[in-house]
Amino acid sequence: MKMQDTPIGYTILEEAQMVAVHPLHVSDADFTKTVLESKSPVLVDFWAEWCGPCRMVAPFVEELARDYAGQAVIAKMDTDANPQTPMKYGVMGIPTLIIFKDGKEAERIVGAVPKAVITKKLDAVLAK
């Protein structure tokens, strides 16, 4: 695969291994396949455009996608455009970040928190 054949937001780490370097945008329609069926842990940032605290965590989520490339999937879900999944997982306020592992919720972070809080929880899930 040549670099120009690489989907936007991905980079080649090794021959035949692609990893996201930006958060993936997931929807209600692809949540099961992208998140629950993932072989890697997945951190999902439930957010909305109008949410000030969501904009505060957005740069951290971008950095995490690069920092954890190849170890975990970092994803974002717009709760306004995709109301079913947040309702199913009891997301009552945003931002809410949920880390899924083996198709199940492993950790939950509610509200705008420092990047260190997110990485500590993500590292703990990866260590299990």
Task: List residues with catalytic annotation.
Answer: 51, 54
104 token code pair? 């199940």
How far from each other are the two terminal CA atoms of the chain, in whole angstroms? 33
Q: What is the H or E stretch that residue 44 is in?
A: strand 42-47
94 token code pair? 């945003």
57 token code pair? 């965590």
